[in-house]
A and B are shown apart, each in its own frame.
Chain A
Amino acid sequence: MNGHCEDNSPPSIDNNNPLIAMVGNPNTGKSALFNALTGAHQKVGNYPGVTVERKYGHMALPDGRPVEVVDLPGTYSLDPGSADERVTRDVLFGQMPNEKIPDILLVVLDATNLGLHLRFALQLLSLKIPTIFALNMVDMAERDGLKIDINLLSEKLGAKVIPTVAVRRRGIEEVKQEVAHLVDQIAKQPSKTEAAAVLAASGAPILKDISSYQPEAQRLTKEVTKVVHKPKGWTQKIDDIVLHPILGPIILAGLMFFMFQAVFAWSQTPIGWIEDGFTALEAYIRPLLPEGLIRSLIVDGVIAGVGSVLVFLPQILILFLFILLLEGSGYMVRAAFLMDRLMAKVGLTGRAFIPLLSSFACAIPGIMATRSIEDPKSRLTTILIAPLMTCSARLPVYSVLIGAFVPDKEIGLKIGLQGLVMFLLYVAGIVAAMLVALIFRYTLAKGKSGLFLIEMPRYQMPILRDIMLGLWQRAMIFLKRAGTIILTVSVALWAVLAFPRAPEGVPQSEYSIAGRVAAALDPIMKPAGFNHAMTMAVIPAMAAREVAVSALATVYSIDSSDEEKTQESLIGTLRKAWPLSQALAFLAWFVFAPQCLSTIAVIRRETNGWKWPLFTLGYLFTLAYVASTIVFHVARMFGL
């Protein structure tokens, strides 16, 4: 991502650079245009007090002058309604604290759907802020057989209209040139910028509501559009298959199944590389350090701890790759459509499907995605069950245990047994989530099952660049976690495991502080099938779930001699140390495991208080405890 300016500091709005505000309906490709204009020079945050994303960027005009760009939330109008609309309205009216009134509006229109989009365009024009229109997706309109008279549209709107294809970066330079042109004009006649100031001083302008612009928008659309031929209707042809009442659900289930198989199968080779890398690193460092505490800290704490988590980067990236592809292609909304009725049965809407599917990657973006659910009670329920969806941080735990206890063989049709068990664990999470949702909807969050009314955007080829950017951001977040939380917890855990030093003949982990804490918790954790190592792993896993694996690695690493370490992987150690019943109990715990502290923090932010995060913590803990107890005892009854 190459921006055109050199400074990498987050753009500040305190400077006096001209401010461009991007406005438009959802699904216009506004974000793609914002990305194309600002490159990597973006800053994403929240507007104060509301859960609406605030996206600022920095752009250089063709002659190098800097301007600021704000990407306002996609809305259909300025009529006061949702939180998104209020933010857009407040910023444009100069009523948002600490935000400048934009000097220029860049209104993004969808060329394939002018009738709907021109309504908003007309409403925005009545603000009298200097405006440029980006007529986006002109390639799609052409494919639909529409010919739009750009000059006539410019003339009718009284503002420059620039055809763009944001995803292919077409028209970007022209937009920049036109912005430069307007910036010059404003500079020459300062009275024009004062329009905005006057607007702010006189309070909110009175706007006509959006439907009153409908007739004019329709008329204008007819005037500037010529239908050359019938649309090719790719989207319809795909939908005829993908939304078919019988084929549709089969395709959806198949996709989900394929996704989880792929997470397992495709990751093996890169995981091998990372493992080899860490083995080599350990072999290189071990002789460099003198026998003793320092070596133990580096080898048992840092390398064993962080290394055991880092190997899961490939799996997490593959999972995110699928989620980004499903979102980018437009399939995600179709999945929501297919699932709506089923979700309605547990009192949710198809809309909840998108946040819940994202929660497979991570509950945090999932919980943030619930903002699109209008009904507050459906939204709350979705937030509460999101942590039950198996997030990628649980993958390491599942992978290690499945690797240790489930034989690596095929059960026919090229379906691996390990992948199948993984799939079943995911299903367990989903079933639990649905049951819990049902209970909540009849108790805590009673009410009708929300609204499902949503635009289904046309299919499009996901943009490689955007997918790569998304994966890159994910990888960085994960590596940052590995370098901070996971490293810190690994080292802290090593410390409580390494001290006090055990006398000869006594296992270090049992003698240590951690061992004593685990022993003290024994009366509580033993009925659930937990041995000391498991208890020691579960506690730090509260910080981040994947730490459970590094904790186990450290626990078993600290007790073993140097030769054993080089021979035995964590998987091998566990296979010897745990009976199957305990392993199953541990897996059952992690299906429900009280989620990481960052998730709790996000729930607090999104629900504005401590009540729901604490409730989530409590109910998940109870479920985890009950589930592992049952699984442990049932497994024992079967002699496992």
Chain B
Amino acid sequence: MRLNEMPLKKATVITDIDWSALPPEIGRRLRDLGFHKGAEVELQHFAPISRDPIACRVDRILIAIRQQEASVISVKDPDAAPEPALSEKASSSRSTVGQA
């Protein structure tokens, strides 16, 4: 699941960042602001038009980021139960963006 597809107000962790999809200076800014694999993230707010940009908490700071850049960041599905054995299908249907 991508960062920009996350449901609101559900904490999860970054599993991967596709650095190659970003121009180097943008990648640098992301690193500066604390985006890294394993960081805790939580989608907090959407901007009014087209839900772009989004505001998400990364560890302890709140960051505004546009959909485009957020889409290269993969996160763990927060609705997936801690034991992956539990209903993975159910979670994907519940996780439609922002209905929370």
A residues sitting closer than 8 Å to B (CB atoms) are 76-77, 79, 81, 112-113, 115-116, 144, 210-211, 214, 235-236, 239-240, 243, 245-246, 248-249, 333, 336-338, 340-342, 344, 350, 374, 451-458
Contacts and interface: CB of A to CB of B under 8 A. Distances in A.
Contacts of A456: 55, 61-64
Interface of A is mostly: helix
A379 to B, nearest CB: 14
Contact of B53 (A76, A112, A350): A350
Interface of B is mostly: mixed
A248 B60 CA distance: 23
B99 to A, nearest CB: 13
B60 A79 contact: no
A113 B47 CA distance: 25
Contact of A454 (B25, B51, B63): B63
A76 B47 contact: no
B43 to A, nearest CB: 12
Contacts of A337: 45, 47, 53, 55, 64
User: Which of B25, B48, B53 counts the most chain A CB atoms within 10 A?
Assistant: B48
Interface stretch (B29-37, B74-82, B87-95): B29-37
A112 B62 CA distance: 12
B69 interface: yes
A240 B47 CA distance: 11
Closest 9 A-B residue pairs measured CB to CB? A76-B32, A341-B49, A243-B45, A456-B62, A245-B48, A116-B34, A113-B60, A337-B64, A454-B64
Given A81-B25, A350-B53, A452-B66, A113 B61 contact: yes
27 contacts: A81-B25, A113-B59, A113-B60, A116-B34, A116-B60, A116-B61, A214-B36, A239-B45, A240-B45, A243-B45, A245-B51, A249-B48, A337-B64, A340-B47, A340-B53, A350-B64, A374-B25, A451-B66, A452-B64, A452-B65, A453-B29, A453-B66, A454-B63, A455-B61, A455-B64, A456-B61, A458-B62
A236 B60 CA distance: 12
A374 B28 CA distance: 12
B57 to A, nearest CB: 8
Contact of A246 (B33, B48, B61, B63): B48
A455 B62 contact: yes
A639 B52 CA distance: 47
A147 to B, nearest CB: 15
A192 B45 CA distance: 50
Nearest to B70: A453
A207 B76 CA distance: 33
Contacts of A210: 31-32
A248 B30 CA distance: 26
Contacts of B49: 341-342
B53 A341 contact: yes
B9 to A, nearest CB: 9
B26 A451 contact: yes
Contacts, number: 98
A300 to B, nearest CB: 53
A181 B48 CA distance: 53
Nearest to B40: A115
A115 B59 contact: yes
A239 B44 contact: yes
A291 to B, nearest CB: 65
Contact of B60 (A115, A240, A336): A115
Nearest to A336: B64
A458 B63 CA distance: 11
B55 A239 contact: yes
Contacts of B59: 113, 115-116
B31 A338 contact: no
A378 B31 CA distance: 23
Given A211-B36, A453-B33, A456-B63, 14 more contacts: A116-B34, A116-B59, A239-B62, A240-B45, A243-B47, A246-B48, A344-B52, A350-B53, A451-B29, A453-B64, A453-B69, A454-B63, A454-B64, A456-B62
Contacts of A144: 60
A77 B31 CA distance: 10
Contacts of A211: 31, 36
A341 B32 contact: no
B20 interface: no
B79 to A, nearest CB: 21
Contacts of B51: 245
Contacts of A338: 47-48
A338 B30 CA distance: 21
B52 A115 contact: no
A342 B62 CA distance: 21
